[in-house]
Amino acid sequence: MEFGKSMLENFLLNNDYSMINHGSWGAVPKEVFDYKMKLLRDHEALPEYFFRKTLYEEQERNSEAIAKFVGTEPNSVALTDNTTFGVNSSIMSAPLSEGDSILVQSFTYKATACVAERIAEQKGFIVRTLDIRLPIKSDDDIVQLYANELEKYPDIRMIILDHISSAVPILWPVEKLMNLFRAYDVIILIDGAHAPGQVSVCLDELQPDYYVASLHKWNFVPRSCGMLYVADGRQESMHNIMTSFKYKARPFQKRFHYIGTRDFSSLFCWTQSRNFVEKCGGLVNI
Ligand SMILES: Cc1ncc(COP(=O)(O)O)c(C=O)c1O
């Protein structure tokens, strides 16, 4: 597979424009897009069969493959539409109440901070924002800023941390910060919207409470396809923000299998997207 201008032949992008914002929406290779169209036709041909059988088999097959990609067990991963969906579900499910606070920071994705703000208004906790100014000199400076904030505000019960932030793209030192956060026994939600596909992710090593990502950004999967990881101890209290038939199903990821009648096809194109990546020589080559 040739990189450079000729690569455009593999995509449906309008070549009169230069698409440089890959991070927000990703881009879907033609062959993956065609597979999604095939799935749509298959589902259209036998809707009863799809919604009663194939849907659940495909959820399990795809979440198993995605769990492997992010270095964890299939039982810890659910498929979602996107990061926003996972953020809403995680904050809503976290055991926070009046007297607690949740910590975001200057570079937290605005939509994620809005979710925290809204749920805080409902549940009565507060949202604190750690002020981080550029230039940042070292990872240790960031760890120190967080340590100061945790010392200053003992009510911090949950921290939301971007793995790679958006408007100013910074790869945050998540491993070092995790060590600090664990020492303060806070609940950790990592917004990995941009991480899987750009950096290697091993959730069994990282061990956050919640980790969410949008796979349509950097993995050539059609929109909308996201993942939600939930640590063992948080799974029982984890609920889908979009409540449906599977409200209290076990294991927890079944609660995300069905969210009302809709098109699920983007969730089931993982293998085809990986095939494209492999043809390019893997993510390292890309
Ligand atoms: C850091 C970060 N978090 C969350 C999101 C939301 O992703 P989505 O729109 O796929 O839910 C984005 C989107 O660009 C983002 O950059």
Contacts of 209 (CB under 8 A, 6+ apart): 90, 94, 187, 188, 189, 230, 231, 233, 234
Interstrand relation of 126-130 and 101-105 (parallel, antiparallel or unpaired): parallel
pTM over 0.95: yes
Tell me which architecture the domain covering 30-285 has in CATH: 3-Layer(aba) Sandwich (3.40)
Instruction: Write the pLDDT tens digit of every residue in 121-166.
Output: 999 999 999 999 999 999 999 999 999 999 999 999 999 999 999 9
Q: What gap in Å lies between CA 73 and CA 113, rounded to an integer?
A: 29
CB of 270 closer than 6 angstroms to any ligand 1 atom? no
Q: What gap in Å lies between CA 59 and CA 184, rounded to an integer?
A: 36
Which of 220, 270, 261, 211 lies closest to 86 in space, CA to CA? 211
DSSP structural state of residue 261: S
Instruction: Write the pLDDT tens digit of every residue in 174-233.
Output: 999 999 999 999 999 999 999 999 999 999 999 999 999 999 999 999 999 999 999 999
CA dihedral angle for residue 105, residue 164, residue 181, residue 208, rounded to 10 degrees:
130
CB of 105 closer than 6 angstroms to any ligand 1 atom? no
Residue with tokens 């579900």: 89
Distance 46 CA to ligand 1 centre (A): 34
* Domain range annotation of the chain: 30-285
Distance 17 CA to ligand 1 centre (A): 23
Nearest-CA residue for ligand 1 atom 13 is 24
